[in-house]
Structure 1
Amino acid sequence: MTATLDRPARPTESPRGAGSARRRFLGALDSRGQVVEHLTPNWFGAVMGTGIVANAAVALPLHSAALVGFATVVWVIAALMLTTISAGFIAHWVRHPQNARDYASHPVMSQFYGAIPMALLTVGAGTLHLGAPLIGQTPAVWIGGALWALGTAAGLVTCVWVPFSMMTAERRHEVRALPAWLMPVVPPMVSAATGAALIEFVPEGQARLALLAGCYALFGMSLVFGMMTLAMIYARLLHGGVPVSTSAPTIWITLGIIGQSITAANLLGAHADLVFSGDQAPIALGCKIFGMIFGLAMAGFGVAMFALATAVTVRSIRAGMPFALTWWSFTFPVGTCVTGLSALGLALGAGPIQDASEVLYVVLLTAWVIVATRTAHAAFTGRAFLAA
């Protein structure tokens, strides 16, 4: 039930009429009200994939006014997308509640409810890093903090609700692990990574300690759940084969927990000295050392998974992989690897790792341009809003 964009022309249309419809605004739909009829939660993946382009840009070791300006424009686009898609998603629940409930209970589509908190957290992080020149420092901090709190709460819900609903669902056949299973368990890790930047804006003392400790708890929660899920997915890939057709890009989701955990471990370590000082300074040093060692070990795992995902993608493209919203899986996970390598390279003072983050950002930017262009065209014609 993942939303695909390769649906054939409706039987009532002639080939000429179908081609004409593809060129008109929302021409593939019978009415404009159909836009929200099948507005599934994986649309929030477009917000994630756009927002990470902005956040990864400001995390790079490169610093220039042009790069910051570009990142700001992309962040604004992501914020507008979040607002528009959120409004449409609410309308989807209000106007088509049965469809919404069916999607929420579907074993695959329900996983993408994890995209909602991650979209909030991604835009919130961009607000914190890029919003000050546009809206002022204080509003940027408050809005970024509010989005972080809302995204964290929603992420905790998906981390528990989606697995619980799968455990208690009545099944007629066995459900096998898919890369999409990582979507609901990764949000707490995104909260841990993005929460690090909020520490300096929280009053000193117990408040900062609570935020840092909370972020490490979120880190542990997501890491353990994520690694268990990743092990099941890897076993399924070995025994059941790789995802095919429109599901093939979802294999890139496996990189999300890897890149985001490296980011979180090193950003939390970098901000630990704001909490632990004086006699407790060795604790802050220990946090930094943990981030570096964890980052190096996990980066090795990431290289292997990146190579595997690339090989699967090349194979799928040769087989004629059609375009679908799942193509947004090419963006956010790669973006987390950019932020992870940037944070790790800065912590270690390692030039080659920082260079690798810059090269990977070019890959991310290329993927984002391609996927965003294809999505914009499919949305213009209305094909993006058709049921799978």
Structure 2
Amino acid sequence: MGTGIVSILLHSLSTLYPGHHGSLNVLSIVFFILNVILFSLIFIVSALRYLIYPATWKLMINHPVQSLFLGTLPMGFATIINMFTLVCVPRWGGASPYIAWGMWWIDAAVSVACCFGLPFQMMTKHKNRHDTMTAAWLLPIVASVVAAASGAVVASVLPNPRHALITIITSYVIWGTGVPLALVVMAIYFHRLAVYKLPPHEVIVSVFLPLGPMGQGGYGIMELGKVALKIFPETETLHPAAGEIMYVLGFGVAIVMWGFGLVWLFFALASILSRQKFPFNMGWWGFTFPIGVFAMATITLGQELPSSFFRILGTVFGSCVMLLWFVVAAGTVKEMARGRMIEAPCLRELERASQRGAEKGRQEA
């Protein structure tokens, strides 16, 4: 997700600054290829793990924290779909728009399954406590928000207006499954922060996660409005002014969500600054994607207004994301070389339970 959003940001900045289009576009393609390699490698390794050791799937899905990260699978895939649509479709033509469309339908189905299934799993199987809640509760829900935004990107390149219309309407519905539910979780999370204070040092980076639904939700509703402005009149959908209404409404909703995102950005920065030191772990990747999608929403606001303020601010946010990517990537490589980076919480807890059982057996003997 973090690598994918960097590639998308670089592509957006290449269109925002034509004078640097060539170099930024090459960099975006480099990160796109790197993202495909990382996603493929991690997906294959994960699939093999659950195929070779099927019992680990049940352990993972029943874990109250680790299972939530299933939502990152469709979100990571969505960044590949977006870049394929933005880079490959214009160059390749032919059937490539429908390849992107097919990938998007798969991503949308998995995203909705995560958005519906994992929260229900939390209600029925997981043992949750309010004082230990983190913003990771948002991960399976934001998957739908990301899929909706990706649907707008794919719809913009479909040659058949009817197919584009189906994609737009479906994306609006998917957006509606994710954003309101994310707001509900954010209200619960705010109450948790107010009552039990900031999360522990190990998961403090999770305070950035609420930027995800605000940034991607705002970006997605603007992109859907832009495509609806074109497709609704072509397909004679609803009313001759329906496309214009959805376009203006999308911008209005987006700028309100952007303002709400500013609140969470302040909370996140204040939380990080209040902690002098916190350990490096895989959670540091939580810096990149939420800030990245917030940067995309900012850049898009600057393009739609048009506004130099939003464009410059979006560029600043985007540059911070790229810098963070290099910092976190370097830390990840360093810790992986030491063998201390990747772990499975569900297996660690199983090992502890086995040790406790063995100790109890020795005591009884």
Superposition TM-score, scaled by structure 2 size: 0.87
Q: Percent identity?
A: 25
Q: Does 1:259 align with 2:215?
A: yes
> Does structure 1 residue 59 correspond to structure 2 residue 12?
yes
Matched, 1:235 2:188: no
Residues 215-241 of structure 1, C-alpha deviations (whole Å, 9 max, x = no match)? 111111111111111111111111111
Superimposed CA distance per residue, residues 129-159 of structure 1 (whole angstroms, 9 cap, x where no aligned partner): 12358x8234653443333222111111111
Q: In the alignment, does 2:35 pair up with 1:78?
A: yes
Letter in 1 for 2:211: L
Contact residue 248 and residue 313 of structure 1 kept, 8 A: yes
Deviations along 1:45-103, whole A, 9 cap, x unmatched? xxx01000011222232231110110000010000001100010011112333333212
Instruction: Tell me, in whole angstroms, the C-alpha distance in 2 between the residues paired with 1:103 and 1:287.
Output: 41
Q: Is residue 229–residue 247 contact of structure 2 (8 Å, CA) maintained in 1?
A: no
Instruction: Provide the residue aligned with 1:302 in structure 2.
Output: 261
The amino acid that maps onto 2:105 is: A
- 2:279 is the counterpart of 1:326: no
The structural deviation recorded for 1:287 is 1.3
Shift, 1:297, TM fit: 1.2
CA distance in 1, matches of 2:187, 2:2: 25
Q: Is 1:128 paired with 2:81?
A: no
Conservation of the 8 A alpha-carbon contact between 1:189 and 1:257? yes
Alignment of 1:1-388 (within 5 A): 48-60=1-13, 61-63=16-18, 64-132=21-89, 136-138=92-94, 140-169=96-125, 171=127, 177-277=133-233, 280-316=239-275, 318=276, 320-387=277-344
Rounded Cα–Cα distance in structure 1 between residues aligned with 2:229 and 2:78: 24
Q: Deviation string for 1:152-188 (max 9, x for gaps)?
A: 1111111111111111126496675320000000111
CA distance in 2, matches of 1:174, 1:266: 34
What is the distance in 2 between the residues matched to 1:170 and 1:69?
Answer: 45
Q: Which residue of 1 aligns with 2:351?
A: none
Distance 1:313 1:148, change over 3 A: same
Cα 1:140–1:321 change in 2 (3 A) is: farther
Q: Does the CA contact (< 8 Å) of 1:127 and 1:141 recur in 2?
A: no
SS at match of 2:258: helix
Q: Contact 1:252 / 1:330 at 8 angstroms: preserved in 2?
A: yes
Superposed CA RMSD in Å reads 2.0
Q: Quick one: which amino acid aligns to residue 117 of structure 2?
A: W
3-state SS of 1:243 partner? coil
Question: After the TM superposition, which parts of structure 1 deviate over 6 Å for at least 4 consecutive aligned residues?
Answer: 172-175
Once the two structures are superposed, residues 275-333 of structure 1 have per-residue CA deviations (whole angstroms, 9 ceiling, x without a partner) of 122774411111111122112211111111111101111223x0x21111110100000
What is the distance in 2 between the residues matched to 1:172 and 1:384?
Answer: 25
More helix by share: 2
Tell me the number of residue pairs that the alignment of Structure 1 and Structure 2 aligns: 338
Structure 1, unaligned runs of 5 or more: 1-47
Once the 2 structures are TM-superposed, how far is the Cα of residue 382 of structure 1 from its aligned partner? Answer: 2.8
Partner Cα separation in structure 2 for residue 160 and residue 195 of structure 1: 19
**SS in structure 1 at match of 2:133:** coil
Residues 344 and 70 of structure 1: is their aligned pair in 2 closer, same or farther, counting only changes over 3 Å?
A: same
CA change 1:234–1:72 in 2 (3 A) is: same
TM-score calculated relative to the size of structure 1 = 0.82
Segments of 5+ residues of structure 2 without an aligned counterpart are 346-365
Q: CA deviation at 1:372?
A: 1.1
